[in-house]
Amino acid sequence: MAQEELMYHIAMKKGDVGRYVFLPGDPGRCEKIASYFDNPELIAYNREYKTYTGTLLGEKVSVTSTGIGCPSAAIAVEELITIGADTFIRVGTSGGVQPHLNPGDLGIVTGAIRDEGTTRHYMPIEFPAVADIDVVLALREAAENLGIPHHLGISQSKDSFFGQHAPERMPVDKYLLERWKAWVQGGTICSEMEASAIFVLSTIYRKRAGGIMLIGWNQEGENPEEHVSDLDPLIRTAVESVKILIQKDRT
C-alpha cells in the first residue's frame, strides 16, 4: 500500500493511528474517550467511523468507532490493521446475563459466543473467539487499581438487538429463547454485538484484542428495568489498561 493511500471506509492512511486503538461502537463516544488522551486530534469521520489520535504516556494511541454489529466492526479492524494498529480494546455497553451482575458493573470479556454471521466468512464456527491474555490481564489490573466492580467471562456477540430484547415478536421466538436459556445456564456474563469479530480477526492476523463492557442493565437481575449510563468508570478502566500495556511493552 502506498504511504498516502486512504482506507476506503475509515478514510485514513499509515501514520494516522497509533498501534493501540480503542473501539467503541458509537461515534458519539469517541470524543469522550479522546478527552483522556494528551493532545487529541480529530483525524477522520466517514460513515460510522470516527477517529481521534493523541498520546498516552508519550505513545501514539487512537479511538475509532465501529458502528453497530460485527460487519462494520470487521471492516474497521481490517483497515486499522492495514495502516499499523495491532492492539484493540473494545469499549462498549452491554446487557447483563447473570442474575448477580449489577447495572454499573464492568464485564471484562475473555471470549465471545459467535452468535453472528460475519466471522463465518473468516473461520469455521468451531474456531473460538478469544481475547488476548495480556489484554485481559491489563483490563483486570486496571479495574482492580481503580476499585471498580468487574467480572471476567464470556460475552454473547449477536446480530439482532431486538432478537434479544423482543424475541416474542420474531417468528423464530422459540429458537431465540431456547438459545438465550443456554447462554444463561452456561455462565455468559453479558450480551453485545461486536466482540467476536474483533477477537477472531485479531487472532488470525496475529494481533491483540480484548473487550470491556459497561453492564448497563440486566434483564436477568432483580430489577430488570434499572439502567446505568455513566461511561466514566468504563472509559477510565480502558484507558488505564492501555497505559499498563504500554509500560509492559516497553520492558
Q: Which helix (H) or strand (E) holds 237?
A: helix 232-250
Answer whether 139's CB lies under 8 Å from 227's CB: no
Does the structural domain 20-250 have CATH classification 3.40.50.1580?
A: yes
Q: Is the pLDDT of residue 79 over 70?
A: yes
The whole-angstrom separation of Cα 111 and Cα 198 is: 11
Q: The C-alpha cell of 80 is what?
A: 486499522
pLDDT tens figures, 23-63:
999 999 999 999 999 999 999 999 999 999 999 999 999 99
Q: Is the pLDDT of residue 80 over 60?
A: yes
pLDDT of residue 3: 53
What does the mean pLDDT of the chain come to? 96
pLDDT tens figures, 110-133:
999 999 999 999 999 999 999 999
pLDDT tens figures, 190-236:
999 999 999 999 999 999 999 999 999 998 988 888 999 999 999 99
Q: What is the mean pLDDT of residues 142-163?
A: 97
* Strand 87-96 versus strand 20-23 pairing type: parallel
